Amino acid sequence: MKPVSEVHVTEPGLAVVEVAACDDETAFAVQGWLAGRWATATADTTSRAPGEPGVRLRCYLDVRQELGS
């Protein structure tokens, strides 16, 4: 994955979350759980690193904007 951009963490309440999971389904389930709680810029695809197990997914959160339970 590319390095985290400074713009995504410029102020309190903004976060970058990187998910490592065994498969796409699990990674997207975690992202869905996060998106159900906070404003989230979601990812459409996962990535695989050669020689590393599983998949990776990165999403961006604004935890100042709670969506409810």
Whether 1 is in a domain gets the answer no
Q: 3-class secondary structure for the chain?
A: CCCCCHHHHCCCCEEEEEEEECCHHHHHHHHHHHHCCEEEECCCCCECCCCCCCEEEEEEEEEEEECCC
Question: Total structural domains in the chain?
Answer: 1
Whether 53 is in a domain gets the answer yes
Whether 29 is in a domain gets the answer yes
Query: What sign has the CA pseudo-torsion 28, 30, 35, 36?
Result: positive
Whether 47 is in a domain gets the answer yes
| Whole-number Cα distances in Å, 17 to 8, 14, 62 | 11, 10, 11
pTM: 0.80
pLDDT (0 to 100) of residue 53: 94
Q: Print the domain residue range for 34.
A: 9-66
pLDDT (0 to 100) of residue 65: 80
Whether 2 is in a domain gets the answer no
* pLDDT tens track for 6-63: 765 678 989 999 999 999 999 999 999 999 999 999 999 999 999 999 999 999 999 8
Whether 4 is in a domain gets the answer no
